Amino acid sequence: MEQANEPFFRREGDMLIPNACARGPWQGAGLHGRVIVGLLASEIERQQGDPDFMPMRITVDLYRAPGMVPLHVETRRARDAKRIRVVDADLISEGRSAGRASIQFLRRGEQPQGNPWHGETWSVPHADTLPAGEPRDDTMFGLWEMRWVEGSITSIGQRRLWMRENRELVGGEPLTPFARVAVGADYASPLANMVGGPGYTFINSDLTFYLGRLPQGEWIGFESVAHEASAGVAIGHCNLYDEAGRIGWASACGLAQQVRGDVAAKA
């Protein structure tokens, strides 16, 4: 049984043991996509990160839903040069890869002069001024916090919100800024691709996000930008923000999939 604000995982040696809250919303689901993305990103950062390098881009392929069983992450450097480092990783569940990630790190340095065009600024109310609402299916009934700025997960039209994590990814290991945005970024898929209600919608088979800088503070802002779909497949795109402005963007492709019955029933 899930305990209040328990972490998604606990670490035992080299293994990561999922708690009940790590289960995803899909029919026959194992782990939630957000914890798969989060683990791959945070383990790459933990094992291969360097304060002189900025994690600029991560792509995660979600090609097998791992069960609620112990797992671990294996990382390796595909390229290690003076100004660029590329790290690949596999999430190993029951002896097989259940997902993989590739992160490109770039060495931090002097910022060029000038200010290229970068679009409109993020001008929305601060999350703390917005109503919390009741935990519903859009947060898996309280597994994270959200404050809606515009729309809802079932509305038609652009959707904007603030999100804050309310539990650790791995027990006893506080979220780094990079891990915080990685865990949350999986929500770009439902935000851009959710078709308007519980039941049958799109499950993402990948996630890519780019960061121009690491987020400041606990709240991450999301803004759906684009969605295209045909023949049971979809792509979606979102901007990512913190309280100071845009930090990057996230994109996902998806397959039509049945939502878990108990989640659909509660919605």
Domains of the chain: 9-108+135-266 (2.40.160.210)
How high is the mean pLDDT in each 10-residue block of the chain (267 residues)? 78 96 77 95 98 98 92 98 98 96 98 85 91 69 89 89 96 97 95 71 92 97 95 95 96 83 46
Distance from C-alpha of 164 to C-alpha of 147, rounded to nearest angstrom = 9
Instruction: Give phi and psi for 258, each to the nearest 5.
Output: -80, 130
Provide the whole-model pTM.
0.91
121 is written with which tokens? 């600024």
Q: Are 236 and 227 in contact (CB under 8 A)?
A: yes
Distance from C-alpha of 26 to C-alpha of 257, rounded to nearest angstrom = 7
Residue 140: the pLDDT is: 64
Q: Are 60 and 73 in contact (CB under 8 A)?
A: no
Residue 108: the pLDDT is: 97
User: What is the per-residue burial (b if ≥16 Cβ within 10 Å, else e) of 220-237?
Assistant: bbbbbbebeeeeeebbbb
Q: How many angstroms separate the most distant Cα atoms in the chain?
A: 55
Residue 92: the pLDDT is: 98
Q: Are 9 and 19 in contact (CB under 8 A)?
A: yes
Instruction: Give phi and psi for 48, each to the nearest 5.
Output: -130, 0
Taking residue 200's Cβ as centre, other Cβ atoms within 10 Å add up to 13
Residue 153: the pLDDT is: 84
Residue 119: the pLDDT is: 79
Distance from C-alpha of 121 to C-alpha of 242, rounded to nearest angstrom = 11
pLDDT tens for 16-69 read: 999 999 988 765 668 999 999 999 999 999 999 999 999 999 999 999 889 999
